[in-house]
Chains A and B, each alone.
Chain A
Amino acid sequence: MATAGRDTTRAEVEEFLYEEAALLDEWRLEEWLALLTDDIQYSVPSTDTPDGEPDETLFLIADDALRVRSRVDQLLGKTAWAENPRSRTRRMIGNVRIREAEEGQIRAISNFVVHRVRHDRVDTYVGRYEHLLVRENGTFRIRKRRAILDMESLREVGKVSFIL
């Protein structure tokens, strides 16, 4: 068994997740991209199939590296109308747990509340993140990032047009 897990403290993972959240809330998306591995999978399952897999279930988002990079380029450009002008977001991340850790990889689960403010409305996304982190040069990179919503539908929030 590798020792990466035992060497990794929850505080380290929390610190990383908080910094990631800050990059997203501040729209420093190029810096956020730099946290992702080349085989990144960023996904948001449909609300009625939270445990689905994207090759056999319809998701809301199932990006590979090509798509997530394009998504960021689009969001930083002018023609992603759903985010022009940009939403303000504020993320609360807590209840961080390290579930498995082996061979230099850490699976971290955390709870999130993301507030999105736009057009005088506050929309609230509630759920949990599952991060698969790879240790690299004293910090982490993200190999898998799944945002699993607790809401039964997007009736109130409408869309996931920013990086959730």
Chain B
Amino acid sequence: MPGEEAYGPAVDRSALGLARPPRTASYRGFIFVSFDPAIESLEEYLADARDYVDLVADQSEAGMEITAGTQRYGIRANWKLLCENSIDAYHGAITHARYMRFLSSTGGLSLDSVLDPGGGGHARSLGNGHAVMEYPSPWGRPIAHWVASFGEEKRAELEQIERKLAELHGVERAKRIAHMSRNLLIFPNLVINDIMAITVRSFFPIAPNEMLVSAWNLAPVDEKPDARAMRFDNFLTFLGPGGFATPDDVEALESCQRGFANPEVGWSDISREMNRADPMPTGELQMRTFWRRWNELLTRERSQQRMGVERLTA
């Protein structure tokens, strides 16, 4: 420190370094930061979301890596709208009609289901506000769900990947990894969508009506160059600010945000399929799970205080 003598002996140099977050921990290579020094362990925090992180982390024996290149973009909408959008299947057919048409015209659509014939998958609350939807993949997956647009020469390669997964994790789990797609929200602002590729997406509010998103591609460390290239193709066709889908999601979120500026709009209805015992991806259990936890965290202190007041006055 230049001119250190100008400071008195009470100045503690060791206290002048960069600020540290109160807590950091990692699970299967994903590093989490918390600003709550009293938070539970990461394993407890992740609760049942761990199983779905495992389904991603288990895709290669050699490990998974974030590849170079960050899709970093702004959305002029409240950050919570992206939580809803990232784990919702109901909007897909309408919002992404052009992507679906591209798939169907190129042989990229797969309507037959390996795991769940005639079924549409399920949605789950995973504890602590985390939620997921999992469904038979309507699109091809580099690990490992073949569709015609991948080309006949890729079919054997993908079957080999599934056989390898079966050796590692058993036939049923291998089938689930290979043929199901999953959209996972880890409360509050991490999305791991294991769909036509795997995108890891984190987002932060920078104003009540604006967020900044960072999205990456996650892939097996030992993926062959042509398989990696196919993965990027699959990723970009749907995902990101230049894809055939994400820009339309962003348009929908920003349109909603403009609508919410009207005081006449009091509520966003997310009661869809509340009466179902077996929640579906096209229902809204996922959103309710997020919002209930958000509401609990924001109002717990206040409601406890209110209860205290009620007791005092009773």
Q: Mask for B246-265, Cβ within 8 A of A = 1, else 0?
A: 11101110100010000000
Q: Is the CB of A58 within 8 A of B247?
A: no
Nearest chain B CB to A159 CB, angstrom units: 4
Q: Does A139 contact B (CB under 8 A)?
A: no
Q: For A45, A46, A49, A161, which residue has the most chain B Cβ atoms within 10 angstroms?
A: A46
Contact A46/B69 with A61-B242, A159-B247, A161-B247 known, Cβ cut-off 8 Å: yes
Q: Does B236 contact A (CB under 8 A)?
A: yes
Q: Does B298 contact A (CB under 8 A)?
A: no
Q: Does A71 contact B (CB under 8 A)?
A: yes
Contact A67/B72 with A55-B228, A55-B232, A80-B248 known, Cβ cut-off 8 Å: no
Secondary structure of the B side of the interface?
helix
Q: Is the CB of A59 within 8 A of B69?
A: yes
Contacts of B101 in A (CB 8 A): 74, 79
Q: Is the CB of A74 within 8 A of B102?
A: yes
Contact A159/B72 with A61-B236, A74-B98, A77-B98 known, Cβ cut-off 8 Å: no
Using CB atoms, name the residue of chain A closest to B99.
Answer: A74
Q: Does B106 contact A (CB under 8 A)?
A: yes
Nearest chain A CB to B17 CB, angstrom units: 26
How many residues of A are counted as interface, with CB atoms below 8 angstroms from the partner's CB atoms? 38
Q: Does A104 contact B (CB under 8 A)?
A: no
Contacts of B254 in A (CB 8 A): 119, 158
A-binding segment of B73-81, B132-140, B163-171, B276-284 = B73-81
Contacts of B71 in A (CB 8 A): 46, 58, 60, 154
Q: Does B291 contact A (CB under 8 A)?
A: no
List chain A positions with a Cβ less than 8 A from chain B.
Answer: 44-49, 52, 54-62, 66-67, 70-71, 74, 77, 79-83, 119, 152-161
11 residue pairs A–B, Cβ–Cβ below 8 Å: A55-B229, A58-B232, A59-B242, A70-B105, A74-B98, A74-B101, A80-B248, A82-B250, A82-B251, A83-B247, A154-B74
